[in-house]
Amino acid sequence: MCTAVAPKIAGSRSDTELSVMHRHPVKMECDVTGVPPPEVTWTKDGADISEEGGHGGGVLQLAAALVEDAGLYVCTATNVAGMDRKQFRLQVLGTSLTYR
Protein backbone atom coordinates (compact mmCIF):
# COMPACT_ATOMS: atom_id res chain seq x y z
CA MET A 1 0.00 0.00 0.00
CA CYS A 2 1.34 3.45 -0.93
CA THR A 3 1.64 6.14 1.68
CA ALA A 4 0.09 9.46 0.69
CA VAL A 5 2.48 12.42 0.60
CA ALA A 6 1.09 15.96 0.91
CA PRO A 7 1.63 18.26 -2.08
CA LYS A 8 4.68 20.50 -2.12
CA ILE A 9 5.22 23.41 -4.50
CA ALA A 10 8.84 24.56 -4.89
CA GLY A 11 9.21 28.10 -3.54
CA SER A 12 5.77 28.19 -1.94
CA ARG A 13 7.05 29.88 1.21
CA SER A 14 7.58 33.19 -0.61
CA ASP A 15 5.53 35.18 -3.10
CA THR A 16 6.89 35.67 -6.61
CA GLU A 17 6.80 39.18 -8.08
CA LEU A 18 6.62 39.24 -11.89
CA SER A 19 6.74 42.18 -14.28
CA VAL A 20 6.06 41.91 -17.99
CA MET A 21 5.83 44.47 -20.77
CA HIS A 22 2.38 45.07 -22.25
CA ARG A 23 1.54 42.54 -24.98
CA HIS A 24 4.54 40.32 -24.13
CA PRO A 25 4.30 36.67 -23.04
CA VAL A 26 4.63 35.58 -19.42
CA LYS A 27 4.74 32.11 -17.85
CA MET A 28 4.03 31.18 -14.22
CA GLU A 29 5.12 27.72 -13.11
CA CYS A 30 4.36 25.61 -10.04
CA ASP A 31 6.79 22.71 -9.66
CA VAL A 32 4.45 20.31 -7.81
CA THR A 33 5.22 17.00 -6.10
CA GLY A 34 3.04 14.67 -4.02
CA VAL A 35 1.53 11.17 -3.85
CA PRO A 36 -0.98 10.64 -5.31
CA PRO A 37 -0.25 13.30 -7.94
CA PRO A 38 -1.95 16.51 -6.78
CA GLU A 39 -4.71 18.28 -8.66
CA VAL A 40 -3.53 21.79 -9.60
CA THR A 41 -5.91 24.74 -9.84
CA TRP A 42 -5.34 28.44 -10.53
CA THR A 43 -7.10 31.58 -9.34
CA LYS A 44 -6.68 35.24 -10.29
CA ASP A 45 -7.69 37.79 -7.66
CA GLY A 46 -9.71 35.03 -5.96
CA ALA A 47 -11.65 33.87 -9.06
CA ASP A 48 -11.12 30.36 -10.45
CA ILE A 49 -9.42 30.38 -13.86
CA SER A 50 -8.48 26.68 -14.03
CA GLU A 51 -10.91 25.90 -16.84
CA GLU A 52 -9.71 28.71 -19.12
CA GLY A 53 -7.25 28.08 -21.96
CA GLY A 54 -3.56 28.95 -21.98
CA HIS A 55 -2.36 26.69 -19.19
CA GLY A 56 -2.45 23.19 -17.87
CA GLY A 57 -1.52 21.72 -14.52
CA GLY A 58 1.35 23.57 -12.90
CA VAL A 59 1.90 26.03 -15.76
CA LEU A 60 -0.06 29.18 -16.56
CA GLN A 61 0.89 31.05 -19.75
CA LEU A 62 -0.30 34.38 -21.09
CA ALA A 63 0.64 34.83 -24.74
CA ALA A 64 0.28 38.64 -24.68
CA ALA A 65 -0.22 40.18 -21.23
CA LEU A 66 -2.70 43.05 -21.06
CA VAL A 67 -3.28 45.59 -18.27
CA GLU A 68 -6.34 43.62 -17.10
CA ASP A 69 -4.10 40.55 -16.61
CA ALA A 70 -2.25 42.27 -13.74
CA GLY A 71 -3.14 40.90 -10.33
CA LEU A 72 -2.59 38.13 -7.79
CA TYR A 73 -2.43 34.60 -9.20
CA VAL A 74 -2.47 31.58 -6.90
CA CYS A 75 -1.51 28.03 -7.85
CA THR A 76 -3.04 25.46 -5.45
CA ALA A 77 -2.03 21.78 -5.36
CA THR A 78 -4.36 19.39 -3.53
CA ASN A 79 -4.47 15.64 -2.86
CA VAL A 80 -5.84 13.37 -0.09
CA ALA A 81 -2.83 14.14 2.14
CA GLY A 82 -3.10 17.93 2.07
CA MET A 83 -2.62 21.15 0.13
CA ASP A 84 0.07 23.70 -0.79
CA ARG A 85 -0.14 26.99 -2.68
CA LYS A 86 2.13 29.54 -4.32
CA GLN A 87 1.32 33.18 -5.10
CA PHE A 88 2.44 35.22 -8.09
CA ARG A 89 1.89 38.99 -8.20
CA LEU A 90 1.88 40.08 -11.87
CA GLN A 91 2.48 43.66 -12.95
CA VAL A 92 2.00 44.66 -16.60
CA LEU A 93 4.29 47.54 -17.64
CA GLY A 94 4.20 50.05 -20.47
CA THR A 95 0.46 50.56 -20.83
CA SER A 96 0.45 54.24 -19.90
CA LEU A 97 3.11 55.39 -22.33
CA THR A 98 2.09 57.93 -24.92
CA TYR A 99 3.81 57.67 -28.29
CA ARG A 100 4.22 60.75 -30.45
pLDDT at 2: 72
pLDDT at 54: 44
**Is 69 a domain residue?**
yes
Query: What pLDDT digit, counting tens, does each position of 2-22 carry?
Result: 799 999 999 988 999 999 999
**Is 99 a domain residue?**
no
- Per-residue burial over 71-98, b = 16 or more CB atoms within 10 Å of its CB, e = otherwise: eebbbbbbbeeeebebbbebebeeeeee
Q: How confident is the model at residue 100 (pLDDT cuts 50, 70, 90)?
A: very low
Interior angle at CA 10, CA 6 and CA 12, nearest 5: 80
Query: Into how many domains does the chain fold?
Result: 1
Could you tell me the residue range of the domain that residue 88 belongs to?
A: 5-93
Interior angle at CA 11, CA 52 and CA 76, nearest 5: 35
**Is 98 a domain residue?**
no
Residue 48's Cβ-count burial label (10 Å; 0-12, 13-18, 19+) is: exposed
CA-derived radius of gyration, the chain: 15
pLDDT at 94: 87
Q: Which of residues 99 and 78 earns the better pLDDT score?
A: 78
Query: What pLDDT digit, counting tens, does each position of 40-92 carry?
Result: 999 999 999 976 544 458 999 999 999 999 999 999 999 999 999 999 999 99
**Is 100 a domain residue?**
no
CATH assignment of the domain containing 60: 2.60.40.10
